[in-house]
Chains A and B, each alone.
Chain A
Amino acid sequence: MKGKPVTTFDEINTSEFLRQLQEGSVEAYEHLFRRLLSPLVRFLVGTMGLPERDAEETASDVLFSVYKKIGSYNPKGGARLTTWIFQIAKNRAIDVLRKTEQLLPEPEPAGALAGRNERYVAWISGQLKSLSSDDRELVLSRAAGISYTEIARSLGITEGTARVRHSRLIERLKKAAEEGGPSAGAARV
């Protein structure tokens, strides 16, 4: 790879680095791999719920598929390169989880494991879609275990504001669940 090696995540999103990837520079891919392997593994384990062993292989597969798909990435399409890669990782994880679920034909539990119940997920998705994009970002980022400090920084607000706003949003969602949520009325699936 010509020029300086990539040392920060911002540099991954530069047009120069993208050019190197699109030219098929193995060195550029190795830099990308070194920078993103660990965060992708954390994302796949912590956010997507993959077992650690599967997550490492999946993260590696994701970075290899970037090599094959990089020609179709268009920075003008909206998402940054890092975001595009995380989206690939998310899609891959969903596929892996689906396959795992097919191997476990037990009925979906309700209650405390409501996250695995489709009706509950559809309800919360509807609630989240009704929020502003920043509020949705705040709630989902916290659900992913990201610290208030970093969420606040990415949203351009103070940490205190992020905490207060998050607390209010959670209360609002709880209230909505009690008034007409997925467990209200109909029997659980």
Chain B
Amino acid sequence: MKEKELNEMLAAALRSRDFDVTDKFVDAFLSDEVNISPVSSEQDLLSKLRTRLQDQAIAKAKASLPTERFSFGRYIEAIRERAKISRADVASRIKCSLDLPLRLERGDISPCSLHVGQLADFVVLFAVSIGDVSNLLITSVLANEEKVTYRASARSHGGVRTDVRSEDVERALDAFARKMAQKQASGSAAVPEEVRTCLFGLEAELRRRGRIELLK
């Protein structure tokens, strides 16, 4: 037998399932400098991996999170925090300004007031179905209306101004307003007009992007 044939057979044996990779083999392999020279596409692949890791983390986080307790912004925030993704990551993924995720989460901006493409970006990133978006938007709109009343009331009774209110106070106010809004919503089945318009546009946008799985 020629040495070339033997080497070919050995290489094939190495590639077969007959032999598991061993600690010694990997140690020797990793110690050989030839095997650790950089790969040209590393940055592209890393960026793809980051996206996949984030998507996976979002899917995991969503699995244990009911939608009915949240406004759209707070729902996004809850998933993001559970998935350990920063607001900067979100901004980078959907190519928006750094403060937009924060303002949306806090309810400073109504999701219905976003450009439909921008809302679709959030919906797609967090893989929220249109049925869930509908509930979240209703809660957002009603909670925001309640919040406006409470803010005005707080100011007229000497409460702190919006720009110096802490995140904790804002969160508590938000939760309270949401609760009141849900109570109110349970008494009537009417979907606010702005939510209906928003959902109509969102559905068309999701169709355009081919994200049919979100139209449930």
Q: A residues engaging B (CB < 8 A)?
A: 9, 24-26, 29-30, 33-34, 37-39, 41-43, 46-49, 56-57, 59-60, 63-64, 67-68, 79-80, 82-83, 86-87, 90-91, 93-94, 97, 111-116, 120-121, 123-125, 128-129, 136-137, 139-141, 143-147, 150-151, 153-155, 170, 173-174, 177-178, 181, 183
Closest to A91 in B: B17
B:109-130 near A, CB below 8 Å: none
In contact, B5 and A9 (Cβ under 8 angstroms) = no
In contact, A111 and B5 (Cβ under 8 angstroms) = yes
In contact, A144 and B39 (Cβ under 8 angstroms) = no
Q: B residues engaging A (CB < 8 A)?
A: 1-32, 34-39, 41-42, 45-46, 48-50, 52-54, 56-57, 60, 84-85
Nearest 10 Cβ contacts at the A-B interface: A115-B12, A115-B8, A177-B1, A143-B10, A154-B28, A124-B9, A42-B35, A150-B28, A125-B18, A150-B31
In contact, B28 and A24 (Cβ under 8 angstroms) = no
A125 and B35 alpha carbons, distance in the complex (Å):
26
In contact, A146 and B6 (Cβ under 8 angstroms) = no
Query: What are 26 A-B interface contacts by the 8 Å CB criterion?
Result: A24-B84, A26-B50, A30-B49, A30-B50, A37-B45, A46-B35, A59-B39, A67-B56, A79-B23, A83-B22, A90-B21, A112-B4, A112-B5, A115-B8, A121-B16, A128-B18, A137-B22, A140-B10, A143-B14, A146-B29, A147-B34, A151-B28, A154-B27, A174-B1, A174-B6, A177-B6
Tell me what chain A mostly uses at the interface: helix, strand, loop, or mixed: helix
With A26-B57, A29-B53, A64-B52 as contacts: A181 and B1 at CB distance below 8 Å:
yes
In contact, B39 and A125 (Cβ under 8 angstroms) = no
CB distance from B207 to the nearest CB of A (A): 29
Considering residues B3, B13, B17, B32, which has the most beta carbons from chain A within 10 angstroms of its beta carbon? B13
Closest to A50 in B: B15
Closest to A68 in B: B56
- 4 new A-B contacts, CB < 8 A, other than A93-B15, A125-B18, A144-B11, are A33-B45, A49-B15, A63-B49, A178-B1
With A26-B53, A38-B42, A183-B1 as contacts: A86 and B21 at CB distance below 8 Å:
yes
With A67-B56, A112-B2 as contacts: A83 and B21 at CB distance below 8 Å:
yes
A65 and B202 alpha carbons, distance in the complex (Å):
33
Residues of A within 8 Å of B20, CB to CB, are 79, 87
A159 and B24 alpha carbons, distance in the complex (Å):
15
CB distance from B51 to the nearest CB of A (A): 10
CB distance from A80 to the nearest CB of B (A): 5
Residues of B within 8 Å of A68, CB to CB, are 56
Residues of B within 8 Å of A48, CB to CB, are 15
Residues of B within 8 Å of A128, CB to CB, are 10, 13, 18-19
CB distance from B52 to the nearest CB of A (A): 5
A58 and B194 alpha carbons, distance in the complex (Å):
47
In contact, B42 and A143 (Cβ under 8 angstroms) = no
Closest to A29 in B: B53
CB distance from B78 to the nearest CB of A (A): 16
Residues of A within 8 Å of B35, CB to CB, are 38-39, 42-43, 46
In contact, A25 and B84 (Cβ under 8 angstroms) = yes
Closest to B61 in A: A24
Residues of A within 8 Å of B5, CB to CB, are 111-112, 114, 120
A60 and B80 alpha carbons, distance in the complex (Å):
24
With A56-B45, A80-B26, A140-B19 as contacts: A38 and B36 at CB distance below 8 Å:
yes
Residues of A within 8 Å of B42, CB to CB, are 34, 37-38
A155 and B28 alpha carbons, distance in the complex (Å):
9
Residues of A within 8 Å of B9, CB to CB, are 114-115, 120-121, 123-124
Considering residues B18, B19, B25, B50, which has the most beta carbons from chain A within 10 angstroms of its beta carbon? B25
